[in-house]
């Protein structure tokens, strides 16, 4: 496979999310020789999803490291490399395999800046392909982002489209804080979007209104954003006007646009694939009810994965939030 470099003429072009992240990594590596890419199979193979395709060929084995098969090792050594002045971008092959690294992420990566009173910076990005809907075996479809949003010292973001993916990966690499970067894997190749590299992107830790509407607000991130947009399109045919917000940043949350929206619509439905108990969505419910108490015409409702392990893939359609569940929940809210 040829290295998916961006067309050198800077005119807008149609690219997939996979290619957008690749191009973003490439741009970051071009800009700073201290940026390293490391992970299992990221070199020769270009990663199991080919996100790092061609990078090792172009930047060499010392900048794109095929690491031993040990996730704690990936994060643990990235921390040492960061102390040494590098900016590692680590790939965790699948969401369900981040847990061997959980200790290094929570105990060291998240805390070293604090523990060193600001003397050690941790400019490390941990890329995690996440979410379900790909018909895979267990441990390959999970949504563990709430664990990390719960952890002080980490930043957590998720992209929902190729254009954001291109900019957000570069902004994450630019950050002097550790960033958990959640990529909706089922959208890597599902669609293309027009990327114009000449624009100035919005700041990393901001959410965005993707569609404005007057009757109710949908807020979501990662793979569920598309579900929300599709739901809004369907609802429009029934004369229901839904606003859709892509949260983008999961820690810190940027909820001002959500508050502003709820103050207008009075109804909020949150959508995420992760189990809902003690999750990001629970946090958003709490904050919205505090900030918008008198504007709400119904309690904030949620469409989440169930509080079960991710089911066998024959059952995942019933597990994952889809258009019907979203619209059903919107109806419940509007009828409250």
Partner 1 sequence: MSSPERWTAARPDSPAATAATPTAEQVIAGLRATSEGGADLVQLLTPEGERVTHPDFDIDIEPAQLRALYRDMVLVRRVDRESNALQRKGELALWVPLLGQEAAQVGAGRAMRPQDMAFPSYREHGVAWCRGIDPTDLLGIFRGTDHGSWDPIEKRFGLYTIVIGNQVLNAAGYAMGQRFDGKVGNSDAEGNPAADDEATMCFFGDGATSQGDVHEGFVWAAVYDAPLVFFCQNNQWAISEPTERQSRLPLYQRARGYGFPGVRVDGNDVLACLAVSRWALKECRRGNGPVLIEAFTYRMDAHTTTDDPTRYRLSDEVEEWKLKDPIERVRAYLARNGLADAAFFEQIQEESDQLAVRLREFCVNIPDPPPDRIFANVYAEANPVLERQREDMLGYLAGFGGEH
> Which spans of this chain sit near partner 1 (rule: CB under 8 A)?
62, 67-68, 70, 72-73, 75-86, 100, 103-104, 107-108, 112-122, 152-153, 155, 175-177, 251-254
CA distance 159 to 169: 9
DSSP-derived letter for residue 189 is: T
Q: Cβ closer to partner 1: 114 or 189?
A: 114
> 7 CB contacts (<8 Å, ≥6 apart)?
13
Partner residues linked to 303 by β-bridges: 271
Partner residues linked to 249 by β-bridges: 157
Per-residue CA distances from 109 to 29, 113, 120, 245, 249 (Å)? 22, 8, 10, 30, 19
Supply the minimum distance, in Å, between the C-beta of residue 88 and partner 1.
8
Q: Which tokens belong to 310?
A: 């991710």
CA distance 220 to 223: 9
Supply the minimum distance, in Å, between the C-beta of residue 32 and partner 1.
14
Supply the minimum distance, in Å, between the C-beta of residue 30 and partner 1.
18
Q: Give the chain's length.
A: 336
- Report yes or no: 278 and 310 within 8 Å, Cβ to Cβ: no
- Three-state secondary structure call for residue 153: coil
Supply the minimum distance, in Å, between the C-beta of residue 48 and partner 1.
21
| Residue bearing tokens 């901001």 | 206
Supply the minimum distance, in Å, between the C-beta of residue 117 and partner 1.
6
DSSP-derived letter for residue 60 is: -
CA angle 322, 136, 190 (to 5 degrees): 55
- Three-state secondary structure call for residue 112: helix
- Annotated catalytic residue: which of 62, 113, 139, 140? 140
CA distance 279 to 81: 32
Q: Cβ closer to partner 1: 80 or 135?
A: 80
Supply the minimum distance, in Å, between the C-beta of residue 258 and partner 1.
14
Catalytic (active site) residue 139:
no
Which amino acids are annotated catalytic?
Answer: 140
């Amino acid at each position: 496979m040829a290295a998916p470099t961006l067309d050198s003429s800077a005119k807008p072009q149609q690219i997939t999310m996979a290619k957008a992240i690749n191009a973003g990594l490439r741009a970051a590596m071009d800009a700073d020789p201290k940026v390293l890419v490391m992970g299992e199979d990221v070199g020769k193979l270009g990663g199991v999803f080919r996100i790092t395709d061609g990078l090792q060929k172009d930047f060499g084995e010392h900048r794109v490291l095929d690491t031993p098969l040990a996730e704690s090792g990936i994060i643990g050594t990235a921390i040492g490399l960061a102390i040494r002045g590098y900016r590692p971008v680590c790939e965790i092959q699948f969401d369900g395999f981040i847990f061997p690294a959980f200790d290094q992420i929570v105990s060291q990566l998240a805390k070293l800046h604090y523990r060193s009173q600001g003397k050690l910076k941790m400019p490390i990005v941990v890329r995690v392909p996440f979410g379900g809907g790909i018909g895979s075996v267990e441990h390959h479809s999970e949504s563990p982002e709430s664990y990390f949003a719960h952890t002080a010292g980490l930043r957590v973001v998720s992209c929902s489209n190729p254009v954001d993916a291109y900019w957000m990966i570069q902004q994450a690499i630019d950050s002097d804080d550790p960033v958990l970067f959640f990529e909706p894997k089922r959208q890597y190749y599902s669609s293309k979007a027009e990327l114009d590299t000449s624009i100035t992107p919005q700041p990393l830790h901001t959410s965005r209104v993707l569609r404005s509407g007057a009757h109710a607000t949908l807020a979501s991130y990662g793979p569920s954003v598309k579900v929300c947009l599709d739901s809004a399109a369907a609802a429009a045919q029934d004369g229901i006007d839904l606003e859709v917000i892509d949260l983008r940043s999961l820690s810190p949350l940027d909820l001002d646009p959500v508050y502003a929206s709820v103050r207008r619509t009075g109804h909020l439905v949150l959508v995420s694939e992760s189990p809902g108990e003690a999750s990001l969505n629970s946090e958003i419910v709490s904050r919205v009810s505090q900030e918008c108490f008198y504007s709400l015409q119904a309690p904030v409702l949620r469409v989440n994965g169930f509080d079960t392990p991710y089911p066998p893939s024959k059952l995942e359609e019933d597990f994952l939030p889809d258009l019907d569940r979203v619209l059903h929940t919107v109806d419940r809210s509007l009828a409250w």
